[in-house]
Amino acid sequence: MYPLPEGCFAPRNQWYIAAWADEVRREPMERWILNEPVAFYRTEDGRAVALEGRCPHRHFPLGKSRLVGDNIECMYHGITFSPKGDCVRIPSQGMVPASCKVKAYPLVERWKWLWIWMGDPALADESLIPDHHEIGLTDPAFTVESGTYHAVPGRYMLMHDNLFDLTHLGFLHQTSIGAGDYSVVDEQRDNGDNWISSQREFPNIQCPPLYAQVFGYEGKVDRAFGMKLFLPSLHAGYDFLFKSRTDSDDPGAVLGKVRVYHAITPATKNTAHYFFAYGRTFKQDDDAFGKAMLASFNAVIEEDMLATREIEAMLTTLGTTPPEVLLKADATCVRGRRLFESLIRKEQAV
Ligand code: FES
Ligand SMILES: [Fe+2]
């Protein structure tokens, strides 16, 4: 499925961010992931559970059902499942058919996220989850603002395309964050089997207006900006600002550092989930400032939603996938798509 080749949707034997930990409570919650309905809830002792969210009797959504102790009871005819997905009760008969059960997905609570494994549970290795400390989430040097969720009105790969190609900043985000420079500065790329990174350096540029205000500094800066995608879900980025090494009173002094986290998870074939957080090294105790900056980022992400909604509508209405013109700036995008395709093909081969 575009932008991947026909027959390729998403890799399954991978960890995806399913929810913010505090979204999942005792009350069951339904969320579609990889085109499957999933029912989330917490047991009485607080453990998060993810079950296949479709009752095998008449397909009623379990995420819209009710809990009885640690078990979930289907709202329709009362069939009850344990946190392991076994059927523990059929009110209308004593005998439980072997087919009366639902899948239980491996679920890991790490930092403020719940990571889900939708594929073969035997392969769910927790050490494959990106190291949260390495990407700064638990680094005390950064104050992290989190908790943002956006429902993406388009297929998940459109969001990865968006994050792979930041030359859209100067155009789609012209009235918010701007940054036309992205279109002209060379990009350094690197990748492994399950990660891809891109970095840009902006030496000796005017301090961007937002930061000039925050740092009380109107001079020249060196700016380093990069993004790394840990396939298939989490883009971790950084935006570091230093006083210009060639034209300032204190060459190379750190003005401030920002880290951004964009987590994308396929929901249905044509929708996705987007979880956002950011960290900063400045105004760390200023809660109101931190929340306001989070709101600004979210307004920018809504502009990405606008582009995604329009492209999804265009493709869905056409019903075909016209060829696309590829540009030099699409190099990271093309490489990233190939990595997704290769993960999917490996699973198909097995
Ligand atoms: S649909 Fe769930 S018990 Fe009948
Ligand atoms: Fe964007």
With cut-offs at 50, 70 and 90, classify the pLDDT of residue 271.
Answer: very high
**Which H/E stretch holds residue 212?**
helix 209-215
Counting ligands in written order, the one closest to the CA of 174 is 2
Q: Which residues surround ligand 2, an ion (CB under 5 A)?
A: 304
Domains in the chain with CATH codes: 23-106 (2.102.10.10), 130-349 (3.90.380.10)
Of all atoms in ligand 1, which is nearest to the CA of residue 65?
Answer: 2
pLDDT digits (tens, 9 = 90+) for 164-185: 998 888 889 887 776 656 667 7
Per-residue pLDDT at 315 exceeds 80: yes
Between 294 and 207, name the one with better pLDDT: 294
Of all atoms in ligand 1, which is nearest to the CA of residue 77?
Answer: 3
**What pLDDT is recorded for position 154?**
98
Lowest mean pLDDT among 52-61, 155-164, 206-215, 302-311: 206-215
DSSP secondary structure code for residue 248 in this structure: S
**What pLDDT is recorded for position 185?**
79
- DSSP reduced 3-state for 302: helix
pLDDT digits (tens, 9 = 90+) for 111-161: 999 999 999 999 999 999 999 999 999 999 999 999 999 999 999 999 999
Between 321 and 339, name the one with better pLDDT: 339
Global confidence as pTM: 0.95
With cut-offs at 50, 70 and 90, classify the pLDDT of residue 327.
Answer: very high
pLDDT digits (tens, 9 = 90+) for 20-61: 999 999 999 999 999 999 999 999 999 999 999 999 999 999
Per-residue pLDDT at 231 exceeds 70: yes
**What pLDDT is recorded for position 228?**
97
Counting ligands in written order, the one closest to the CA of 56 is 1
**What pLDDT is recorded for position 57?**
98
Separation CA 88–CA 19 (nearest Å): 27
76 lines ligand 1 (CB under 6 A): yes
Q: Give the CA count within 13 Å in the CB-facing half-sphere of 240.
A: 13
Counting ligands in written order, the one closest to the CA of 260 is 2
**What pLDDT is recorded for position 7?**
95
Separation CA 70–CA 85 (nearest Å): 11
Separation of CA 257 from chain center: 21
Q: Report the alpha-carbon angle 262-266-272, nearest 5.
A: 70
55 lines ligand 1 (CB under 6 A): yes
How many CB atoms within 10 Å of residue 230?
22
With cut-offs at 50, 70 and 90, classify the pLDDT of residue 211.
Answer: confident
Q: Under 8 Å CB-to-CB from 217, ≥6 apart: which residues?
A: 207, 211, 243, 255
Per-residue pLDDT at 194 exceeds 90: yes
Separation CA 102–CA 121 (nearest Å): 13
- DSSP reduced 3-state for 53: coil
87 lines ligand 1 (CB under 6 A): no
**What pLDDT is recorded for position 182?**
67
Mean of the per-residue pLDDT values of the chain? 95
Percent of the chain with pLDDT over 70: 98
Between 207 and 45, name the one with better pLDDT: 45
Distance from Cα 10 to the centre of ligand 1, integer Å:
29
Distance from Cα 90 to the centre of ligand 1, integer Å:
9
